[in-house]
Amino acid sequence: MARLEQRISRAIWRSAARDWLELSDLDVAIVGAGPSGMTAARYLAERGFRVAVFERRLSFGGGIGGGGMLLHKVVVDESALRILEDFNIGYSRDDEEGLYVVDASELMAKLAAGAIDSGVRMVHGVHVEDVIYRDGPPRIEGVVVQWSAVLLSGLHVDPLFVTSRAVVDATGHEAGVLSIVARKVPGVRLQLEGEKSAYAELSEKLVVERTGRVMPGLYVAGMAVAALYGLPRMGPIFSSMLLSGKKVAEAVAADLGSPGS
């Protein structure tokens, strides 16, 4: 039998290569493993769509882990309880009427577990640095990916491509995919208004309302919605992030029809 070192390497090369062959063509590419991205991913995978989440960090959760100013808790209101229950995430009622407290680590872990158990591929350490487009009329047909480590190194290395029927920008406050599209895709009139100062109640409502399709093939969820439409921020209340993830999943599913068609 070959040496253990050789067998370890071969097992990893073989399995990763198989995964990447599947990842190279998807129904839905979700950018960002924050609350909105992971929620969207699960509800899409559950419907049978081939979904991957590309996350530039080596961890899940985006802004969840920091809780409220590093206190390990976030809050939601009753509108998000159904989603917490779908993911089997615990919550406790607080003295503040209508608010429920969730442990940040449980939220991160169970959103990720729920997505993975539904068949989502989570890919860490991969940065979406561009999109694939076709014109007349402009349409987004996938993403361009690069190892985060390569970008951090400053080396000039050409990226690879992932085609997909839909791309969801769930990159949070910076709206990374939308910024690229606004700058680099010809014929798209997209202007990022930039997130506004805190007005939690209004932001919670409007982020969900404005979640959805931005142009053919491109969708937005979570705080990227606020960056796009100039909506206020809401701090560590996460109802709208979960509801936005669920809403974008419904919008993508409605547009795509059946998986793989």
The residues binding ligand 48F (CB under 6 A) are 31-37, 54-57, 62-64, 127-128, 170-172, 176, 222-224, 233-234, 236-238, 241
3 state DSSP class of 192: coil
Q: Please spell the DSSP secondary structure of 18-87, one letter per residue.
A: HHHHHHTEEEEEEE--SHHHHHHHHHHHHTT--EEEEESSSSS-GGGTTTBTTBSEEEEEGGGHHHHHHT
- Whole-number minimum distance, CB 125 to ligand 48F, in Å? 9
- Please report which helix (H) or strand (E) contains residue 215, including its range: strand 212-215
Q: Of 139 and 173, which has the nearer Cβ to ligand 48F? A: 173
Check: CB of residue 211 under 8 Å from CB of residue 251. Answer: yes
- Whole-number minimum distance, CB 126 to ligand 48F, in Å? 6
Q: Of 90 and 235, which has the nearer Cβ to ligand 48F? A: 235
Q: How far apart are CA 237 and CA 261, in angstroms?
A: 37
- Whole-number minimum distance, CB 175 to ligand 48F, in Å? 9
Q: Of 81 and 259, which has the nearer Cβ to ligand 48F? A: 81
- Whole-number minimum distance, CB 150 to ligand 48F, in Å? 13
Residue whose tokens read 């709206």: 175
Q: Of 27 and 55, which has the nearer Cβ to ligand 48F? A: 55
Q: Of 112 and 224, which has the nearer Cβ to ligand 48F? A: 224
- Whole-number minimum distance, CB 203 to ligand 48F, in Å? 8
Q: How far apart are CA 135 and CA 194, in angstroms?
A: 26
